[in-house]
Chain A
Amino acid sequence: MSDLSDEKIREEAKKALREKGLKCVIGWNAEGTPTFASTAEEIDKLAFNKSSVNNLVPYLTYEIRSQRGKTRDGKDKVVVPVGIVVRGCDSKALLLLLNEKILARSEVFIIGVPCTGVVDPHAGGALFRKCVKCAMRNPVVFDVLASDKVQEDEKDYSEVEAIERMSQEERWALWEEILADCIRCHACKRSCPVCYCDECLLDPTDVAVKMDTSAEEKAYRPRWVERSVNVPENLVYHLARLPHLVGRCVDCGECERVCPRRLPLRLLTAKLEKDVKDIFDYEAAKEEGQKPLIAMSCMEDDNGFIM
């Protein structure tokens, strides 16, 4: 925000680099470009302002997981810790990864920055829609905070509720138009901080199914979604993304931000989040050590839709 918090980010980053022996600190520079700073000079370029739009957590996951592995004598390789600057929404994603034990708390050094919203470069200086009313402005997990905490808003589901009130035909007309616009570049999936699988069932497989392709080969590489880009395939692609985000999506809005067609993808994840809250009274990344929703089973769940 102010120069003061930039100073604080740089000061803490330098201190941690020196004392904790960080590999690098991931942050934004003044133009908002993601930056990997591993020296004091590079750290002086770190900043946080209205153009710090990227969620940096996917970079962190990559930086740490690429260090994992076994040494020749079968021991785990030592992971050099990595520092990161996170906003409130990023910190939620990071907390989820920590809860899922994808990252260990000792492997990350977190500089939290309370955030009052970042600017959508395509909206002529206006804030991102997700930032206008935001319920997670303050980081939930951090080692140091770069500035004072800010006031948070109530979670706003008014857009989702507006669609819920539509008739079924209106809803389909809306989504058909959106899906017809999708070019299936998979950017929403690649940029998602909680989608970290190396191999994804939505990746197009390059196994050509020929006359002599055995059943076994086909079974190893099922093609759940065809490569062709049309409404039904796009529909299945977007519907297939969602079950993987149940109780995990933290609504950071990266999918919507990176979409080259500017599709309102956050409507889907917001609806999912709302359902999870309404039906199961569960919220993703609410506290440390939280169990995943799908890994908990409950006899008392709603049975109403079942014959």
Chain B
Amino acid sequence: MSGSQAAGKGAEAIPCAEGEQFEPKIVAFLCNWCSYAGADLAGVSRLQYPTNIRIVRVMCSGRISPMLVLRALKDGADGVLVSGCHPGDCHYLKGNLYTRRNLQLLRSMIEFMGIEPDRFQMSWVSASEGGKFADVVKTTVEKVRKLGPNKKFTTEKREGGE
């Protein structure tokens, strides 16, 4: 599908089973008011972006606790994207600001423990930024594709199987 088109140039392919390009699985938590509407706009505007992304809609990015990010990574996601309204535009006024504090520290701790911080991405996408959403997904997928499969969080992949 469009995934192969959008893989882009710079991405170095990690060889998979039969020399195929590694396709990462990415869980995206999008807030209902801005980012989900932005993703919707990207779809309506027929913008192409990789299909590696699995969207979970939440009412506010303030709902994203670090546990959700960790659980997604542990259950086999290769990357996690959290997206919300721009600071100051939150439907609930401050939800995204709380999340920014929490997740900034989580990202730093992940890095400290030797996990690639790029597996966790965060973005602000407003309802009118369909193009930005497509770009964010492209960047995220490319970054995670470079990192390869998420082995540190999962037992099965650690033992060799997929």
Contact = CB atoms under 8 A, between A and B. Distances in A.
A104 to B, nearest CB: 27
A231 B158 contact: yes
Contact of A243 (B65, B112, B115, B139): B65
Contacts of A183: none
Interface string B94-116: 10011011101111111111111
B155 interface: yes
B94 A297 contact: yes
B113 A240 contact: no
A232 B67 contact: no
A297 B97 contact: yes
Nearest to A295: B98
B62 to A, nearest CB: 9
Contact of A232 (B105, B140, B154): B154
A272 B107 contact: no
Given A172-B152, A231-B158, A243-B65, A164 B105 contact: no
Contact of B124 (A163, A268, A306): A306
A299 B67 contact: no
B71 interface: yes
For the residues of A in contact with B, the DSSP-based class is: helix
A299 B153 contact: no
B100 to A, nearest CB: 6
For the residues of B in contact with A, the DSSP-based class is: helix
A116 to B, nearest CB: 31
Interface string A163-174: 110001111111
A150 interface: no
A132 interface: no
B74 interface: yes
B101 A297 contact: yes
A240 B102 contact: no
Determine which residue in A163, A172, A303, A307 has the highest number of CB atoms from chain B within 10 A of its CB, and name it. A307
A234 B87 CA distance: 34
Contacts of A230: 155
B105 to A, nearest CB: 6
A236 B139 CA distance: 26
A157 interface: no
Contacts of B97: 297-299, 301
A204 B115 CA distance: 25
B88 interface: yes
Given A232-B74, A302-B104, A239 B155 contact: no
Size category of the A interface is 35 or more
Interface stretch (A67-75, A81-89, A93-101, A274-282): A274-282
A235 B101 contact: no
A224 B87 CA distance: 29
A168 B147 CA distance: 12
Given A168-B116, A305-B107, A232 B153 contact: yes
B16 to A, nearest CB: 21
A172 B104 CA distance: 20
A293 B153 contact: no
Given A243-B102, A246-B102, A307 B123 contact: yes
A140 to B, nearest CB: 24
A306 B132 CA distance: 13
Nearest to A242: B109
Contacts of A233: 74
B11 interface: no
B6 interface: no
Given A279-B104, A305-B104, A201 B116 contact: no
B122 interface: yes
B37 interface: no
Interface of B: 65-67, 70-71, 73-74, 87-88, 94, 97-98, 100-102, 104-116, 121-124, 136, 139-140, 152-155, 158
5 contacts: A239-B106, A239-B110, A240-B67, A246-B102, A275-B109
6 closest A-B pairs by CB: A172-B114, A171-B114, A297-B97, A307-B123, A243-B66, A297-B94
